[in-house]
Amino acid sequence: MIATLIENARIVDPEAGSVTEGHVLIEKGVITEITAESGEGLRARAAPENRIDANGKVLAPGIVDIGVKVCEPGERHKESYKTAGAAAAAGGVTTMVTRPDTDPAVDTPEALEFIRRRAREVAPVRVLPMAALTKGRAGEEMTEIGFLLDAGAVAFTDCDRPVRDTKVLGRAMTYAKALGALIIGHPQEPGLSAGAAATSGKFASLRGLPAVSPMAERMGLDRDIAMVEMTGARYHADQITAMRALPALERAKNNGFDVTAGTSIHHLTLNELDVSDYRTFFKVKPPLRAEEDRQAVIEAVRSGLIDVISSMHTPQDEESKRLPFEEAASGAVGLETLLPVLLRLYHSGDLDLPTLFRALSLNPSKRLGLESGRMAKGAPADLVLLDPDKPFILDRFKLLSKSKNTPFDNARLQGRVLATFVGGKAVYRA
Amino acid sequence: MRFDQRHLLGIEPLRPDEITTLLDLADRYATLNRSRQKRSGILSGLTQINMFFENSTRTQASFELAGKRLGADVMSMAMEASSLKKGETLIDTALTLNAMHPDLLVVRHPNSGAVDLLAQKVNCAVLNAGDGRHEHPTQALLDALTIRRAKGRLHRLTVAICGDIAHSRVARSNLLLLHKMENRVRLIGPPTLMPAGIGEFGVEVYHDMAEGLRDADVVMMLRLQKERMDGGFIPSEREYFHRYGLDAEKLAFAKSDAIVMHPGPMNRGVEIDGTIADDINRSVIQEQVEMGVAVRMAALDLLARNLRARPNEVMA
């Protein structure tokens, strides 16, 4: 029996909201002991070469990242399961929940099977695929939700293309509800947001960029919540980024609807002014918001109103970004930078470690019905060991993703992953 | 006298004293342009390429003439028809031209920020001849020169900019310039044609011509782009002319010696009444065109001087 002992760690328990010093024993891929007492009895259970001295560094449940784009099938030159998996492992992400907005879209059980096979063959971390809600993400006919669930789809989403036709959405939600499937929406009023590259306001006007009001997000969310009320579906909003959308989310939760929400690392740590002189690596969807929105979103993560933080990992090659801002592709890679960048909010005193890992690991696991995300006996040993204080300057060409489109190139960051464990096995060692 | 810019990408990066430097020089070129012998050899031996990714007659002609009067070798390219159709990217086009060692590159592009992007990739001086809805610096400079010559100063004036502000790079550049030179700027137009966040620009916003034009020294009309009609920004051309078109009745609210400006091309009967446009006592529209050549000569001249100050980098 292979056992691993991680000694002398600061252990983050997001359920208890605590950070305590102690030791964690892993047997058969599962956490079997968490204790503050270091006895020879405990040490004897792991062979000397399988004892890791954490030296007071932080041990936390591994990240479950909802909304990762891996560009297979279709655009493997941007990202493959191999490179995305390596980047995830290096970033402390133990489960990638992948998006279906590939080319073609993941909208059949056969496509889903392809992804699961590719992931099994080459990805060192767990991969849980999401499937499209409508065929071809065209918003016209629902996909084979039942077959896709059987094939292993953990959620259904058309990603950044909200289903315009409320009748189609209503039917899909009603059908999904009967099967207990989770629907992930992108709250955005598509008429208002068409063609937008920035958030409307003084900055976008000065730069002459086509812009969308943050109100479009609230309108999209209002609509989706009304549809949830109508159908009783389980719903998660992929990214809430605007202050004005938060009261609607709060009302929905207070009314007892089965609604949760996420936000992205970019909207927590950047604002619209970072676009500066048309820097296309800062073009994301929805566009970066005003500083007051960023502050409101941080507060919502702290209070628990926003449940989940995602990297929204979206690889783009250099050619897609070396274009005028309006024409450049949206999105940024984030698997590897999610944790170090998010630690900015820890160092600034905005969010403590249990709150961070509640949004990174515990809540996404709970939402998807997974055993992971917890620091508890019997939970899978999906863990990340990190040094939250180690400073470094990010060099985008050193990222393991095939695409290097990060807005954090040359950023001064503090915090590095030392090791990542999936099912007790070290998949990354710094 | 100082002008420290490597490129002329917009009004935003310019200091007030740099604007004054450029206008002073342009004044001298305006005199040269009125003389029989119009040629100067100051850009002799330099190559100027005009790349227009968007249709233009007057701006392109003005830049071409400006370069030729200063003795540069000028080549104009209509980019719409050429390599972009073959799928070449903007940056590749720029690098291709850059390899031919131009000294001055004049660029117009339909996307905001495209000229900034291009300027990062080439090692000659780049002049923005209009990018999307962002900036059109030489237009603002020629407007400033026209105002200064007509009014004797370029500060403490009340300037009303009227019409489609939201989609206008001319309005943005003018707004920035007039602010830097300490003038009072009013924007007049229907709310659908005002940019978002306009309240934070430090300007007065009016939706009524009679109120907005009251005691104005300068009335600057903007062209109503026909394509905006399709977007449903205004109900109809005739309602627009009725409410926002400049005619004698509305002009009477401005100061009695107020001048009327228009960047051209005009839509007579849409944003401006033909008789106002042709009134030589009020309209300075022809003078604007004349100053356009002078301002562009001054801009080319100043940027070329800065090129020579940095020979190694440029010739590398």
CB burial class (10 A; 0-12, 13-18, 19+) of residue B57? exposed
3-class DSSP state for residue B51? strand
| Shortest CA gap B120–chain A (Å) | 11
Query: How many degrees, rounded to 5, is the angle at CA B112 between CA B51 and CA A195?
Result: 125
Amino acid at B303: L
Mean pLDDT of B24-49: 95
In the set B6, B108, B167, B184, the catalytic residue is B108
Q: Which CATH architecture has domain A62-368?
A: Alpha-Beta Barrel (3.20)
The answer to whether the CB of B22 falls within 8 A of the CB of B302 is: yes
Across residues B251-277, what is the average pLDDT?
94
- What is the DSSP secondary-structure string of A199-226? ETTHHHHHHT--EE-THHHHHHHHHHHH
Is B264 labeled as ligand-binding? Answer: yes
Give A-chain residues touching B130 at CB under 8 angstroms: none
The answer to whether B200 contacts chain A (CB < 8 Å) is yes
Residue B121 is among the residues annotated as catalytic for this protein: no
Distance from CA of B113 to the nearest CA of A (A): 6
CA distance A312 to A337: 11
Catalytic residue among B28, B58, B101, B308: B58
Cis geometry, peptide bond prior to residue A391 (ω within 30 degrees of 0): no
Query: Which runs of E-coded beta strand occur in B47-196?
Result: 47-52, 73-78, 104-109, 125-131, 158-162, 184-188
Cβ contacts of B128 on chain A, cutoff 8 Å = none
| B80: its two tokens | 């719409």
Residues B169, B43, single domain; the answer is no
Q: CA–CA separation, A428 vs A91, rounded Å?
A: 9
Give the pLDDT of residue B316: 35
> B1 in a domain, yes or no?
no
* B122 to A199, B5, B83: CA distances (angstroms): 30, 15, 18
Q: Indicate if B96 and B163 belong to the same structural domain.
A: no
- Say if residue B125 is in the same domain as residue B153: no
Q: Based on the domain organization, do B240 and B264 belong to the same domain?
A: yes
Angstrom distances, CA of residue B70 to CA of A218, B29, B145, B269: 56, 10, 19, 38
Residue numbers in B near A208 (CB within 8 A): 112-113, 131-135, 169, 172
Estimate the crossing angle of helix A215-231 against helix A166-179, to 10 degrees. Answer: 50
- Mind listing the pLDDT tens digit for each residue in B84-130? 556 678 888 888 888 999 999 999 999 999 999 999 989 899 999 99
How far apart CA B168 and CA B188 sit, in angstroms, is 13
Stronger pLDDT, A263 or B53, i.e. the higher one: A263
User: Residue B309 carries which side chain, given as an amino acid letter?
Assistant: A
pLDDT of A191 above 70:
yes
Tell me the domain boundaries of chain A.
62-368
Q: Mean per-residue pLDDT for A299-316? A: 98
**What does DSSP assign to residue A135?**
G
**B285 sits in which H/E element:** helix B285-308
Residue A132 in contact with residue A112, Cβ under 8 Å?
Answer: no
Asked if B89 and A323 come within 8 Å (Cβ–Cβ), the reply is: yes
CB contact under 8 A, B197 and A327: no
Q: Which domain CATH number covers B45?
A: 3.40.50.1370
Strand, coil or helix: B268:
strand
Contact B196, A203 (CB under 8 A): no
B111 at A interface, C-beta within 8 A = yes
Task: Please report whether residue B96 resides in a domain.
Answer: yes
Which amino acid, one-letter code, is at B53? F
pLDDT at res. A217 = 98
Chain B's closest residue to A214, CA to CA, is: B196
Chain A residues within 8 angstroms (CB to CB) of chain B: 200-209, 211, 213, 277-278, 319, 322-327
Q: How far is A237 from chain B (nearest CA, A)?
A: 27
Q: Which residue of A212, A277, A280, A291 is the best one to mutate when testing the B interface, meaning the one whose CB has the most B CBs within 10 A? A: A277
Contact between A275 and A203 under an 8 Å Cβ cutoff? The reply is yes
User: Is the alpha carbon torsion for A106, A112, A114, A118 positive or negative?
Assistant: positive
Mean pLDDT for the stretch of residues A118-143: 97
Do A313 and A65 meet the contact criterion of CB atoms below 8 Å apart? Answer: yes
pLDDT at B228: 63
- Give dist(CA B177, CA A122) in Å, integer: 58
Q: Kindly report, residue by residue over B271-299, the tens digit of the pLDDT.
A: 999 999 999 999 999 999 999 999 999 99
Q: What is the C-alpha separation between A182 and A123, in angstroms, rounded?
A: 25
CA atoms within 13 A on the CB side of A289: 28
For residues B88 and B163, membership in a common domain is answered with no
Look at A295-304, B1-10, B304-313 and tell me which has the smallest mean pLDDT.
Answer: B304-313
CA–CA gap between residue B134 and residue A83 (Å, rounded): 39
Residues whose CB is less than 8 angstroms from the CB of residue A117 and which lie 6 or more positions away in sequence, other chains included: none
Strands of the sheet with A126-129, listed across from one edge: A63-68, A93-98, A126-129
In this complex, which of A200, A208, A213 lies closest to B132 when CB atoms are compared? A208
Task: Give the model confidence (pLDDT) of B165-205 as tens digits.
Answer: 999 999 999 999 999 999 999 999 999 999 988 888 889 99
Provide, as residue numbers in chain B, all residues whose Cβ is less than 8 Å from the Cβ of A203: 197
Read out DSSP for B154-189? Answer: SSS-EEEEES--TT-HHHHHHHHHHHHTT-EEEEES
Pair (B69, B141) in one structural domain: no
Any idea how long chain B is? 316
Give the model's pLDDT for residue B232.
85
Partner-chain residue, chosen from A200, A202, A325, that has the shortest CB–CB distance to B113 = A325
pLDDT of A249-259, one tens digit each?
999 999 999 99
Mean pLDDT lowest among A412-421, B32-41, B302-311? B302-311
Chain B interface, mutation test: which of A192, A193, A203, A207, most B Cβ atoms within 10 Å?
A: A207
pLDDT at residue B83 tops 70: no
Q: Using an 8 Å Cβ cutoff, are B109 and B263 in contact?
A: no
Instruction: State yes or no: is B275 an active-site residue.
Output: no
Tell me the whole-structure pTM to 2 decimals. Answer: 0.92
Minimal Cα–Cα distance from A201 to chain B, Å?
Answer: 4
Question: Across residues A390-414, what is the average pLDDT?
Answer: 97
A-B interface: how many C-beta pairs under 8 angstroms?
69
The residue behind tokens 């509800």 is A177
Nearest Cβ partner of B116 from A205, A277, A319? A277
In a domain, B249, yes or no: yes
Please indicate if the annotation marks B296 as binding a ligand: no
In this model, does residue A94 exceed pLDDT 80?
yes
- Judge: A208–B116 Cβ closer than 8 Å, yes or no: no
**Residue B315 in domain:** no
The answer to whether the Cβ–Cβ distance between B196 and A209 falls below 8 Å is no
What is the ipTM for the molecules in this complex? 0.88
Question: From the candidates B136, B172, B186, B250, which is the catalytic residue?
Answer: B136
Number of residues that make up chain A: 430
> What average pLDDT does chain A have?
96
Which chain B residue shows the shortest CA-CA distance from A202?
A: B197
- Minimal CA separation from B273 to chain A, in Å: 29
Task: State chain B's mean pLDDT as an integer.
Answer: 92
Distance (Å) of CA A398 to CA A90, A225, A405: 11, 42, 12
Q: Is B265 annotated as a binding residue?
A: yes
pLDDT, greater one: B52 or B231:
B52
Q: Is B58 a catalytic residue?
A: yes
Q: What is the pLDDT of residue B157?
A: 98
Q: How many helices (H) and strands (E) does chain B have?
A: 13, 9
Same domain for B204 and B272, yes or no, is yes
* Residue B58 and residue B262 in contact, taking contact as beta carbons nearer than 8 Å: no
Residue A208 to residue B131, Cβ atoms within 8 A: yes
What is the pLDDT, as a whole number, of residue A283?
98
What stretch of H or E contains A427?
strand A425-429
B112–A202: do the CB atoms touch at under 8 Å? no
Domain that holds residue B22: 7-135+290-308
Looking at the fold, whether B125 and B171 belong to one and the same domain comes out as no
Rg (CA), chain B: 19
Does the beta carbon of B204 lie under 8 angstroms from any beta carbon of chain A?
no
| Beta-bridge partners for A22 | A9
d(CA B152, CA B145): 10
Min Cα separation A292/chain B (Å): 15
User: Does residue B256 lie within any of the structural domains?
Assistant: yes
- pLDDT > 50? residue A266: yes
Do residue B116 and residue A278 have CB atoms under 8 angstroms apart? yes
- Domain co-membership, B242 together with B156: yes
pLDDT at residue B82 above 70?
Answer: no
Number of domains in chain B: 2
Banded pLDDT at B1 (limits 50, 70, 90): confident
**Which chain A residue is nearest to residue B12, measuring alpha carbons?**
A206
Say if B89 is an interface residue toward chain A (CB within 8 Å).
Answer: yes
Q: Are residues B120 and B175 in the same domain?
A: no
How far apart CA B215 and CA B13 sit, in angstroms, is 31
Task: Please check whether residues B71 and B205 belong to one and the same domain.
Answer: no
The answer to whether residues B37 and B166 belong to one domain is no
Question: Which chain A positions have a beta carbon within 8 Å of B172's beta carbon?
Answer: 205-206, 208
What is the mean pLDDT of the segment spanning A139-158? 98
- pLDDT at residue number B84: 58
Which chain B positions have a beta carbon within 8 Å of A207's beta carbon?
A: 112-113, 134
